[in-house]
Each structure stands twice: as C-alpha cells, then as structure tokens.
Structure 1
Amino acid sequence: MNLLDPVEPRYGHDSLADILPTALSFLGVAGEPDALNLAAELDGVRRVAVVLLDGMGWHQLPLAAADAPTMTDIVAGRLGLGRPITSGFPSTTPVSLVTLGTGTTPGHHGIVGFNLLRPGTGKILNHLHWTGDPDPAVWQPVPTAFTRASEAGLAPTVVTNPRFTDTGLTVSAYRGARLGPGIEADAVAEEMLAALSSSRLVYGYLPDVDRAGHDFGIATPEWHQAAADADRLVTRLVDGLPPDTALIVTADHGQLDIPPDTRIDVDRDPRLTEGVTFVAGEARVRYLHTVEGARADVLSTWRDVLGERAWVVERAEAVAAGWFGPVPESHLQRIGDVVAVCRDRWVLMASRHEPPRLNSMIAFHGSNTTAEMEIPLLVVRR
C-alpha cells in the first residue's frame, strides 16, 4: 500500500461521521443507524466511551507499537477489534471534531476547512481561534449527536481542555453535552471514568500526538512520548470501564512529515497571486477566492504552475467528487472558487496570510492521502 495514494471518505458506512450515530443506536436512540456494523461488539451495552487521539492516524499505529502496547493488542484482536475508517475531508482537526460531534458530513455541517472566508464579510475565520462572531448556531446549524443523546436521557459528557469551553468550535461540535475538564492523559482518563457513573455517553479528547508531530515530526523521541501518553490514557480507560460498557478509540486524521524542498509559498509567486483575493483552507488544501471574472484564469495558471503537485479544480468539481458529502447552497461559498488539494508531500504555504509558526512545522495533514485520511476504529467491550 502506498500511503500517498488518495482515499475517498467512506461516509455512511466507515467514517468518522458514523461513530456517534452507531454508538447511539446501541444506546437505544431511535433513528440512529449502526453504520459501522458493530452489532457483535456493541449489542447490549449500557454505556459508551469515545476517545479521540488527535493526529494518531491508522498508519501511525505501527510506528508506535513499542510505545502503545494496549492499542497494539486491540489492533491484533487480543483485547478487542481494530480496523481503519476514514476521516472526513479535509482531514483536519476543526472539520473532524464537528464531523464526529454532529455525526454528519462536512458539507452538511458547514465546517469545511481550517480557515474559511466568511461570505460577504471579507474576513477569514480560523476555527481554532473562534470566539464570538459568527454565532456558532448560525455558522454550524446542525444539531449535534450530543444534543440527540441528551434528549434521549443519556446525559452525555465531553472531557476537553476547559480553556476552550466557550469557543465557537466547542459549541459547534459538543453542544448538548456537559463539559468536564481534562488536559493531559491521566486527567482525561480520570474525568471520563468518573463521568461514566452518571453519563451513558462520554467523550474525551487528547491533542498530544498531533502537537508532537507538528512540532518535532513523526517517530521522533517527542512523538514517541506523546504516543506512549495516548496509550496510557487508553489503558486506564480499558482497565477502568464499568461492566456493559464499550470503549471506542479513534482519531481526527493522520500526518505526513513534509521536507523543506516540497514547500511552495504561494504568496511569493506572482503567478499564483494574480486574480486571487483571499487564500483560505490550510497548507495541504487551499481554497482560492478570486476576482470577479478571473476564476478560469486562476484555475488554468494554478494547474500549469503546480502540475502534478496538486489536484486543482473548480468548486463545483470538488463538490461533485463527493469529498465533502452533499453541500447545501448556504455552505458552497465557504469552499472558494478554486480548490487546490496537494498530492504526495507538497504543501502550499501562505506566508503573508498565516502565522510564521507554520513554516517551522514538520508534520502536516489535511489532504486526501491514505496516511492522512485513514484513522483507527478500535473497540473494547467490558
């Protein structure tokens, strides 16, 4: 298998969007499908714990085998079951958190990228730094799976960094749940296990692996330590699960190390800035908003300049390809007029639009390669 080959998101039967609907179906919530076909593992469970390990893609698990014996045992079938599913597209954290939280596709919930131009405002919204405007209930109008769980009497709990309690991303992904504090592995495990005494659906989030990959690269000592911390969280959950409880472990995306010689700064090439008013998205997937009447020229120029380094298409073609799932009219303009999806290990930096820190990052994600898109589905039943 070539980890740089493209993968289509498997919405509706094997994707991140299918995890919470599947869990809710076995917790007795009417109308929720067993999209992941987990009847043998989840039938009869009374509680479900879900933990998301940011950046721990399916294809990073073998690299972490020595650091992560519990997850390795699950994958091998000694503790449960493990198989790959896909993230949504783009394979990036804000998109994935809302995809998981709503149980719907990115096109449906509208968080279709890391940075998005707010139509009609001339302002870029960074979803990780979203406070106040726009109103999350308007920008992301889809009810979450946690709201559906709450209405069904499951008293859902989300364990995450309390610093982000009132942010737009948290509200968009987790509204309907009680929020519990947890930052590092042991605190997340402790809070999740405590919540299972009163909540029948508990979700926890750990950012460590993603952060280590970005800052130091995959399979570095820092990354291995982060993988070991993630496995410690999973181990504590497995050991502490109450009877008739299932644990589901997943991720939001994988990662790829990007060498210095495969980085293109679009802001420093006049050919790539001509006719472009806004550069959104992120380094592996760019959304280009163009001057009126310039779309065709921008499309042609970007194709000529980037060649085989990126898939460059008009918005309509990107939507028709199914990467986002169905996209309602109200969300179309967020995608931009032209979409550039990086192939192989290429990235499209935007030095004049984005923080300098991005230039020092080692690992990236967001595109549609196997390494970025395939994530774990690990299931343990007690």
Structure 2
Amino acid sequence: MTGPELPAAALEPIEPRYGRDSLADIMPTALHALGVAGEPDTLGLAAELAGVRRIAVVLLDGMGWHQLPLAAGSAPTLTDLATGRLGHARPITSGFPSTTPVSLVTLGTGTAPGRHGIVGFNLHRPGTDQVLNHLRWLDEPDPADWQPVPTAFTRADAAGLAPTVVTNPLFTGTGLTESAYRGARFGPGVEADAVAAEMLSALSESRLVYGYLPDVDRAGHDFGVATEQWHRAVTDADRLVGRLVDGLPPDSALIVTADHGQLNIPPDRRIDLDRDPRLTAGVAYVAGEARVRYLHTRPGAQADVLTAWRAVLGDRAWVATREEAVASGWFGPVPESHLQRIGDVVAVCRDRWVLMASAHEPPRLGNMIAFHGSNTTAEMEIPLLIARR
C-alpha cells in the first residue's frame, strides 16, 4: 500500500537544521528556560517559556509533522496544538538518519548525531565482526565509551532540577537508555494513561520530566500510516497529550515532539540487496537500516562497490562515499573517533524505496508497511508543539 497522498515536497530531501531548529535543540532550550547557566535558547522560545519553572517533554514515536494532518480526525488535542489554537506550533527537523536510536540520543544529549556517535540503527563496531543493533544493546559496548557525551539530564541533575524520564521499565539499564538518559531518575510508563499519570506525578518533584510513547511508530510499521490500527494508536497518543495539557501545574509548560515521520512503502519498491550478487560483491558488513544503508567493504573494494551500487540503484538512492556523506553535513561534525561507524559506502533511499537485507536482518522487517530513516521532508520534519496552563 502507498498510503495517503502527500504533497510532492514531502518526498524531497531536507537538511537537518542543527543549532537553530532541530531535535537536538529542544533540551538545551528547555534547560535555558529553567535557568541552567550555559545552555542556549537555540529554538528562540524565550517568550513562549517565560516564567516557566517546570517543563514536561513528551516524544511520540513516529508522529511526524506531515502525519499530523492525517491524524486530525483521531487527535483533537494534537490538532489544536498543531494549528496554534492551544499554543506555539512549528515544524523542526530530526537528526539524520531519521530513526529512533539516533533521535533519542540526539534529544537526550542535545547534540547532533555525529558528535554523540549513534549515527544509525545498526552500526558495525570497528575492529570487530559485530554489528550492533541499538534496540537490543544490553551490555557491550560500554555506553559511556560508545556514547561519551554528557546528557542533558546529567546537566539538569547537576543544576538541581531532579530530572525524571518516564518510559517502559524494560528499557531501564539498556545501552540505548544509558546513552540517551543517564543522569535522570526513571518512572515506569508503558501505555498512554500510565505515562501521563507518571509524568504528572513526577512534576511535583522534578522540574524537567520527559516521557516516551512508542505506539504510533509501532502501528505504522505493522499496519501502515492512516490505517485503522494507526488511528487507534494516534487516539491513545492524543489522550496522553490531552491529560498532560489538562493536568499541568500552573508554572509549567508542555513540549510535544517526535523522533521522525513515516512513509508507507509498496511491495514493488523493495529491493533485497542480499538477493542481488551485484550488491553483495565486495561487501563485508551491512549496517544501517532499510532507508539508509551503511556498507563496510572488503579491503580495496570500496570503489567497485560504489560503482556497482550507483549503477544498479540509479535514481532510487543517493550512493556516496563516507567522506561525501560526512561532508554533506547530515550528521553534523563527526569526530575521528566516530567516522568508522559510517559505512565506506552510504546508500540513502529516495522517494518510497527501501533496501532490505534478508540475510542480515530478522524476517519481521520484510513484513513492515511503513519505514523511516532517510532524509525526505516527510521523515525528517517533526512537530514542536508547546502548551501552557
């Protein structure tokens, strides 16, 4: 299924707006509003957050800016926020790739992906034969080594804000959670009502509270954007936001955002790289994900892999060297210590194409309907919605 129609511009590439209008700028701006020295107001929200002593931030996984109009019939509160009737609203960008592990750490650290080093969903660990799936990261590598940047929650805790993160308790202690949220205390919240209740309770003691809800993203992957199941997940997300808006203490503000949008991918737009010998020749490790592939090549094979992938994929993907991808600015500045995590060859899907890897990844991925990760506007633009009592 191709799903709902989108404006042609939604399928055009967009650059992340680090340092002025991106997911990386939310936490520094929030800390600035709460009086933390040295934190910049890069989002320019001084007027909207003036006088605020407590801030709640909620991230709705998969609820991109271009999905909000599709959700209107199931999300009255989000619609009122997005149209400005309840407060400030505008699109900002995610980081790149536009995928959950990258975005959660980008939000949590307040830095671009190149700096924090979580530059993909799956990353090859240099010097090993391992490809790390960040959602299944339990112990090795040490999160403090793999992601060395102090989080915004660490900075908030040092400033006496007693930050709280509300998320599924199954995530507590994982490598991704430690990379994104270390420095915070944790509160349990799995479904929408529990997340709302725990966030509102935490605001009595914490001046910075963050909550996460994965339902919209999961429904999009499994059933597709704008399906009945997706709308049910949107209704739950809207109920969470509505409860937060209604329950905010008088000196508080709510910031609603997302980690990425989603695109439904039809069956005839799926290329399985593991079934085409032209695409596997010279490749030692396949990483990234279906919309952005990182190819780590065998010694001396980079040029041949680059040529073959460009010839086979044509205008269905932008295929570049690591150096070209870094120079594009998509990741922000990338220190030497993180460069090798990006493939020798990078393939970024255009339009509604995906690059499956059936021999490298679980079969479930082949059954997914909606995907994300690339640099189209539909995937990269996310909401910045602000409400105050």
TM-score w.r.t. length of structure 2: 0.98
Matched residue type, 2:258: A
Q: Is 1:281 equivalent to 2:288 in the alignment? A: yes
Identify the residue that residue 386 of structure 2 maps to in structure 1. Answer: 379
Unaligned runs of 5+ in 1: none
Aligned with 2:240 (options 202, 223, 233): 233
Superposed, which structure 2 residues align to 1:94-109 within 5 Å? 94-109=101-116
Aligned with 1:116 (options 117, 123, 140): 123
Identify the residue that residue 367 of structure 1 maps to in structure 2. Answer: 374
Aligned with 2:132 (options 125, 131, 143): 125
Cα shift at 1:76? 1.7
Equivalent residues, number: 382
Aligned with 2:29 (options 17, 22, 27): 22
Cα shift at 1:153? 0.1
Q: Is 1:57 equivalent to 2:64 in the alignment? A: yes
CA deviation profile, 1:13-58 (whole Å, cap 9, x unmatched): 0000000000000101011011111111101100000000000000
Cα shift at 1:228? 0.6
Superposed, which structure 2 residues align to 1:30-109 within 5 Å? 30-109=37-116
CA deviation profile, 1:308-333 (whole Å, cap 9, x unmatched): 00000000000000000000000000
Identify the residue that residue 195 of structure 1 maps to in structure 2. Answer: 202
Unaligned runs of 5+ in 2: 1-6
Matched residue type, 1:80: G
Aligned with 1:311 (options 318, 336, 342): 318
CA deviation profile, 1:77-130 (whole Å, cap 9, x unmatched): 211111100000000000000000000000000000000000001100000000
Matched residue type, 1:214: H
4+ residue segments displaced more than 4 Å: none
Aligned with 1:4 (options 7, 11, 29): 11
Cα shift at 1:189? 0.1
* Secondary structure of 1:307 counterpart: helix
Q: Distance in 2 between matches of 1:75 and 1:138?
A: 39
Matched residue type, 2:255: I
Q: Distance in 2 between matches of 1:75 and 1:373?
A: 17
Matched residue type, 1:78: R
Q: Percent identity?
A: 81
Cα shift at 1:337? 0.2
* Secondary structure of 1:324 counterpart: coil
Identify the residue that residue 4 of structure 2 maps to in structure 1. Answer: none
| RMSD between aligned residues | 0.5
Q: Is 1:168 equivalent to 2:165 in the alignment? A: no
Matched residue type, 2:18: Y
Q: Distance in 2 between matches of 1:119 and 1:7?
A: 29
Identify the residue that residue 340 of structure 2 maps to in structure 1. Answer: 333
Cα shift at 1:366? 0.1
Q: Is 1:268 equivalent to 2:257 in the alignment? A: no
* Secondary structure of 2:47 counterpart: helix
Aligned with 2:252 (options 245, 256, 271): 245
Cα shift at 1:381? 1.5
Q: Distance in 1 between matches of 2:90 and 2:159?
A: 29
Q: Distance in 1 between matches of 2:47 and 2:33?
A: 11
Cα shift at 1:216? 0.2
Matched residue type, 2:116: H
* Secondary structure of 1:41 counterpart: coil
